[in-house]
Structure 1
Amino acid sequence: MSVQLLLGVILFLLMALVGGKKGVRSFFTLFLNFGVLFFTIILMSIPNVNPILLTIIACIVISCINLFYINGVNRITKTAFFSSMITIVILLLFIVFITEKAMIQGFGEEEIEEIGAFSLFIGVDFIKVAAAVIIMSTIGSITDIAISIASPMRELFQHNPSIDRKELFTFGLEIGRDVLGTDTNTLFFAFFGSYLGLLIWFKDLSYSFGEIVNSKVFGAEMITILCAGIGVALIIPITAWITAYFLVRVEG
């Protein structure tokens, strides 16, 4: 038995024991999401295909898998899905603008040696690809926060139907504040953990602090982290407002 298979079996057993049927569905969503991402990457390599459009479609599919397949189709998952889509569209437009102005698309000088034997004329807009990478990195956290806020708001409304929209919205913001710090730090350490080898490489090459900060690779990662954090912060008021509006309007 290979190490990958052994770890997969352990993960499946733990998710099944802890989460029951929902844990099993969550396990299989890992493979479904991987399939969506893999298929999206293949399509992005085709010339004249818009990576932004592919990213939006992929985010819709991934959000449907994470929300509807795991939690079922109900008012809360619909609210979380709608909130996630609004956040992704806003964030995507912002990221495309920032990526173009900061010129972080493409490859840094540290990567030139590795790709020197290949042609760079592949017919792909690297600005849009860079924006797609950032969005794909945050979609999981965005949908997770959306359902984490919408579900308790629904519970509060069911136990207190007379609550007004403003109080319900404030309650959603309070929940968002509780998860904001942990999710932001999770994104931060996930990105830096994956690029720990790059930081060690900078040290071996005796890069000064100024050279590290101004390097294209490091700058791209920092902008990715900051944009992901913006997305995490943005989803909180959007989900709280939409959920409060929907619950009070429909059920109140």
Structure 2
Amino acid sequence: MNVLVVLSIILFVLMAIVGGKKGVKSFIALFLNFGVLIITILVMNDPNANPIWLTLVACAFISAISLFYINDVNSKTTMAFFSTIITLLILFFFIIIITEKSMIQGFGAEESEELMTFSLFIGIDFIKVAASVIIMSTIGAIVDTAISITSPMREIHHHNPMITRKDLFLAGIRIGRDILGTSTNTLFFAFFGGYMGLLIWFKDLSYSFSEIINAKVFSDEMITIFTAGMGVALVIPIASWMTSYYLVTIGNKKK
């Protein structure tokens, strides 16, 4: 049996045992999000398609699947979804600017040898592709942080319905501060785990520190990590404010 099938079965069993019905839905959501990603890439091959807008639409679908399909439509998922979209839109302009200024699009010198036999004139704007990669790389961390803020805030309001909007907002910020450090560390070490071979290769070729940080393949990943970290930091106050406003102001008016 293929090792991927075995690992998928093990993952499914563990998620079903630990998460129950939500664990099964989370497993299915992995494949749904993978399908969205594949469709986005296939459509992106069309020279007339705009990779950035396609990525934004794909991120909206991924956010909806990750939030609404797994946790149903309720106040916590709705606030997490809107705070995710707002954060992405804020980061969008920064990502476009930083991608154009840093010139990280395309392939680095370390990757050029494997591509020498292929034509790079494929009719796609690699600047937009690079921006799309950064946008797509941030969505998972932002959604995860957003729901980690809105869910406990709803529980706090449920058990203390008389809490003020300011106190509920500050509670969300305190929760976010606990999440911020672990989320950024996860992003950072995910890079070093995935690129350990590249870093060893840099050492064997006696790259200096300045050559490493200026290598396109290295700076591309670091910019992605920093941007995702910015997204995590931004979504905390946005999700906290939106949730506190909705639960206290709008929620009390509905009663």
Using structure 2 for the length normalisation, give the TM-score: 0.96
Instruction: Tell whether the 8 Å contact from 1:22 to 1:70 is kept in structure 2 after alignment.
Output: yes
Q: Counterpart of 1:158?
A: 158
Maintained 8 Å contact 1:51/1:128: yes
What is the letter of the counterpart of residue 101 of structure 1? K
Is the contact between residue 138 and residue 231 of structure 2 (CA under 8 Å) also seen in structure 1?
yes
CA positional deviation for 1:125:
1.5
How far apart are residue 229 of structure 1 and its match? 0.6
Per the alignment, residue 236 of structure 1 pairs with 236
Matching residue of 2:212: 212
User: How far apart, in 2, do the equivalents of 1:182 and 1:114 lie?
Assistant: 36
Alignment of 1:42-53 (within 5 A): 42-53=42-53
Residue-by-residue CA offset, 1:67-121 (whole Å, 9 max, x unaligned): 0000001111111100000011111211111111111111111122111222222
Counterpart secondary structure, 2:234: helix
d(CA) in 2 for partners of 1:5, 1:215: 37
Alpha-carbon distance between aligned partners in 2 of 1:110 and 1:160, rounded to the nearest angstrom: 57
Aligned-residue identity in percent = 67
What does residue 28 of structure 1 align with?
28
Report if the CA contact (8 A) 2:64-2:81 is conserved: yes
Q: CA deviation at 1:204?
A: 2.1
Match of 2:13 in 1: 13
Distance across 2 between alignment mates of 1:231 and 1:116: 36
Q: Assess if the C-alpha contact under 8 Å between 2:138 and 2:224 holds in 1.
A: no
Unaligned 5+ residue runs, structure 2? none
User: Aligned equivalents of 1:85 and 1:77: distance in 2?
Assistant: 12
SS of the aligned residue for 1:161 comes to coil
- Contact kept, 8 Å, 1:81 with 1:143, in 2: the verdict is yes
> What's 2:95 paired with?
95
Size of the alignment, in residue pairs?
252
Please state how far the C-alpha of 1:58 moved relative to its aligned partner.
0.3
Equivalent residue, structure 2, for 1:188: 188
CA contact (8 A) 1:84 1:146 kept: yes
Q: Could you tell me which runs of 5 or more consecutive residues in structure 1 were left unpaired when the two chains were aligned.
A: none
Counterpart residue number, 1:60: 60
Amino acid at match of 2:206: S
Amino acid at match of 2:8: G
Q: Deviations over 1:212-249 (max 9, x none)?
A: 11111111111111111111111100100111111112
Which amino acid in structure 2 is aligned with residue 210 of structure 1?
Answer: S
Q: Which amino acid aligns with 2:83?
A: S
Deviating more after overlay: 78-87 vs 89-98? 89-98
Paired residue type of 2:28: F
Matches of 1:140 and 1:162, distance apart in 2 = 33
The answer to whether the Cα contact below 8 Å between 2:183 and 2:232 also exists between their aligned partners in 1 is yes
* Residue 69 of structure 2: aligned partner: 69
Q: Is the 8 A contact 2:142 2:228 kept in 1?
A: no
Alpha-carbon distance between aligned partners in 1 of 2:221 and 2:124, rounded to the nearest angstrom: 20
**Amino acid aligned to 1:60:** A
Deviation at 1:126, TM superposition (A): 1.4
Query: What amino acid maps onto 2:227 in structure 1?
Result: C
Work out whether residues 48 and 123 of structure 1, in 8 Å CA contact, stay in contact via their aligned partners in 2: no
Q: Give the Cα–Cα distance (whole angstroms) in 2 for the partners of residues 125 and 92 of structure 1.
A: 17
Describe the superposition over 1:144-170 as per-residue Cα deviations: whole angstroms up to 9, x where unpaired: 111111111111112222211111110
CA contact (8 A) 1:176 1:236 kept: yes
One-letter amino acid of the counterpart of residue 35, structure 2: G
The answer (yes or no) to whether the contact 1:55–1:132 under 8 Å persists in 2 is yes
